[in-house]
């Protein structure tokens, strides 16, 4: 049992947090706008293609693809629907598990990744790696690992995937 955390952030923590929010939002917007212009798709969809392009046989089970893109099953299903419509991905059923589906990158899909990746990477370098010192890059990696780790542990603790609240009206 740990101590109750102080209620508010200190001024400097507040500044840090605001800066982080600003940076991640601007980064997301910038990368999304570029990908939309160049490939007419959001970064999230590009990342799905990129993951497939690196996988064995350029294919992955929906389950694993969802995990590796930090995506919910539902979100991935919708995204793959779209990519399939555009002929960039195909769906096959899983040989060893009849519940499973496998997403396979098509040749057209591979071409999109090949065309988009260099431009995307250039931009990431430009606004991230080029503006950070080597030390800062190392720090960013470690910081990210810690935060991601905390969140993943947290999901497990809360049993997110098996939560079963009582039925209730949905209000937004």
Residues that bind DNA (CB under 7 A): 29, 32-33, 36, 41-42, 44-45, 61-63, 66, 71-82, 91, 94, 97-102, 161-162, 164-165, 167, 170, 172
48 contacts 104 by C-beta, under 8 angstroms: no
Q: How many Å separate Cα 41 from the centre of its chain?
A: 14
Q: And the tokens for 143? A: 């910081």
Q: Which of 78, 82, 84, 52 is nearest to 65 (CA)?
A: 52
CB of residue 144 to its own copies, shortest distance in Å? 4
Site string for its own copies, 46-75 (x = CB under 8 A): -x----------------------x-----
Binding status of residue 136 toward its own copies by CB under 8 A: yes
- What's the CA gap between 53 and 63, in Å, rounded? 16
Site membership for its own copies, residue 93 (CB under 8 A): no
CB of 58 to DNA, least distance (A): 16
Whether 43 contacts 32, CB under 8 Å: yes
DSSP 55: S
Distance in Å, CB of 129 to DNA, minimum: 23
Helix (H, G, I), strand (E, B) or coil at 89: strand
Residues that bind its own copies in the complex, under the rule CB under 8 A:
5-9, 12-13, 15-17, 19-30, 36, 40-41, 47, 70, 118, 121-122, 124-132, 136-152, 154-155, 171-172
């Amino acid at each position: 049992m740990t101590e109750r955390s102080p209620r508010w952030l200190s001024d400097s923590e507040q500044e840090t947090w605001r800066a982080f929010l600003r940076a991640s939002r601007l980064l997301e917007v910038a990368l999304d706008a570029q990908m939309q212009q160049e490939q007419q798709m959001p970064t999230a969809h590009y990342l799905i293609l990129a993951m497939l392009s690196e996988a064995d046989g350029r294919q992955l089970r929906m389950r694993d693809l969802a995990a590796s893109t930090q995506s919910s099953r539902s979100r991935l299903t919708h995204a793959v629907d779209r990519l399939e419509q555009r002929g960039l991905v195909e769906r096959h059923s899983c040989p060893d598990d009849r519940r499973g589906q496998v997403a396979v990158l098509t040749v057209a899909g591979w071409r999109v990744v090949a065309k988009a990746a260099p431009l995307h990477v250039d931009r990431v370098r430009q606004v991230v790696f080029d503006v950070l010192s080597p030390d800062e890059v190392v720090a960013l990696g470690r910081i990210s690992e810690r935060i991601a780790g905390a969140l993943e542990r947290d999901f497990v603790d809360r049993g997110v995937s098996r939560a079963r609240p009582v039925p209730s009206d949905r209000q937004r």
